[in-house]
Structure 1
Amino acid sequence: MKQILATLMLGTVLAGCSTSASQDTPKEPSSAKQEQPVLLEKTSAYVPNPQLPDDRQLTIIDQTVTDDKGDLTLKQFKPVNETRKIGPIKMTIEEIKVFHARPSYGMIDFFHGYTHDESFDLMKIRVTITNTSDAPVTFNPVAHFKLDDEAEKTLEDDVYLESLAKTYAPSETHSGNFGFILERPVTSIELLTSDVLDEKQAVLQKGTTYSTSLR
């Protein structure tokens, strides 16, 4: 009996030592699995759009790009590179493009929220917005959008959904696109921005307009 008790006590001591040793052993650093997200909004890094193909290489009329989201064929292209100062907001309109878009089968449901056509024309405007102040401000680059003095669009019609209407942190820069499905060919546009608001939603600067011909 004493021999059995001694054996049991020895086993308990050994188990305790094993547990202590495993607790004392330093763990592998977990930093490799806990990478910090890159703040793409504050850099010039390109962020792929989840709905539409990357059109950066489309600069020649009738050129087409294709990926798993569908294909885009360039119909109109206007490099702009015009900067507007709206209070503390600096907004550069970089380019305007019109595509014929044919979404892939997997993207059809998304676009059915905007149109029932399987393919359609699409206008895209690329902008870079910078808050030049040392305080946060709220701004929307496309409060109102007019096509040929007829059709009108707002940010609710935007298919790119790249969060350009938001509160911009001090010195924050955000590049992105907004765009609308077209029901007919377009020869001119007029863009009206929102007002620039401070933290208390007071108006710092009234919105501005930008208009251009696409001919």
Structure 2
Amino acid sequence: MKYVVVTLLSASLLLGGCAANNEGQSTGSQNEPSTNTSEANDNQNKDSSINESDKSIMDSPQAPDDSSLTEVGKTVEDQDGMITLKAISKYDETTSIGDVELTISDVKVMDYAPSPDLVDFFHGYSDNETQFNYVKLRVNVKNTSDQTVNFAPVSLLETGSEKKGFEDDFYLENLYGNLAPGEEKAGQLGFVLNETDVEKLESITVNTSDVFDENKESLTEAKSITIPF
């Protein structure tokens, strides 16, 4: 009789232990998907941040998004108007001007017919504000020093038949001026071409400004960069 009781007790303990183990395993299994879901959400959030960052660089209120234009002759249209790609450059290089690193890429020449609500905006930029050509550059500017500097990525742009100053940029993304220590700016610049025959355009020349300190003293002389098409 004692043996039976001991046996039953042993069996009960054994079953209790198995049940506890099963509960532990079940709990662990239930927790694992939550961890994976959390990781997936984190990755989604990161991807979303990257996409938003790219969008902020490409989407301008003054011109259509040209990111899909990679073939000469192709056209895209959105609420800002219609653009046709006339020329594109493979240029994608970083130039050091003293403590400033300037990267220029995604250089395109496009024919642009703005939407009616933007025509007045371009009155001061173009001889024919309803349809004109323009050149667009993507730039990234970084101050690698431990002091504030003043810099213009494009002080003067030349096509051979006309010149454009930094005040002619119509993208208006505040890429000129002071850069705090370690500060980085990225965006686009656009210059209307009124006198350039874009069908014969072989290159453009970008002249940066000097790198200045806060007292407007020149620290490094400007550089000239030729970008072929």
**Structure-1-length-normalised TM-score:** 0.75
Does the 8 Å CA contact 2:107/2:138 hold for their aligned counterparts?
Answer: yes
Counterparts of 1:71-90 in structure 2 under 5 Å?
A: 71-90=82-101
Using the TM superposition, give the Cα deviation of residue 79 of structure 1 relative to its aligned residue in structure 2, in angstroms: 2.1
User: Does residue 172 of structure 2 align to residue 161 of structure 1?
Assistant: yes
1: CA distance, partners of 2:64 / 2:139: 17
Report the Cα distance in structure 1 between the residues aligned to 2:143 and 2:191, rounded to whole angstroms: 25
Structure 2 residue identity aligned to 1:128: N
User: What displacement does 1:157 show?
Assistant: 1.6
The structure richer in helix per residue is: 2
Residues 135 and 192, structure 2, Cα contact 8 Å, conserved in 1:
yes
The 1-side partners of 2:90 and 2:202 are apart by 15
The corresponding residue for 1:46 is 55
Identity %: 40
Q: Deviations over 1:121-164 (max 9, x none)?
A: 1111111111111221110011111112x311101221211111
**Count, aligned residues:** 172
Q: Report deviation, 1:168.
A: 0.8
Matched, 1:105 2:116: yes
Task: Measure how far apart 1:46 and its partner are.
Answer: 3.2
200, 205, 208: which is aligned to 2:223?
A: 208
* CA RMSD in angstroms, aligned pairs only: 1.7
CA distance in 2, matches of 1:53, 1:170: 33
Q: Going by fraction, where is strand more abundant, 1 or 2?
A: 1
Whether contact under 8 Å (1:122, 1:179) holds in the other structure is yes
CA distance in 2, matches of 1:80, 1:169: 27
2 CA distance for matches of 1:91 and 1:81? 11
Gaps of 5+ in 1: 1-39
Q: 2:119 is paired with a residue of what secondary structure?
A: helix
Q: Is the 8 A contact 2:83 2:111 kept in 1?
A: yes
Q: Equivalent residue for 2:74?
A: 63
3-state SS of paired residue (2:118): helix
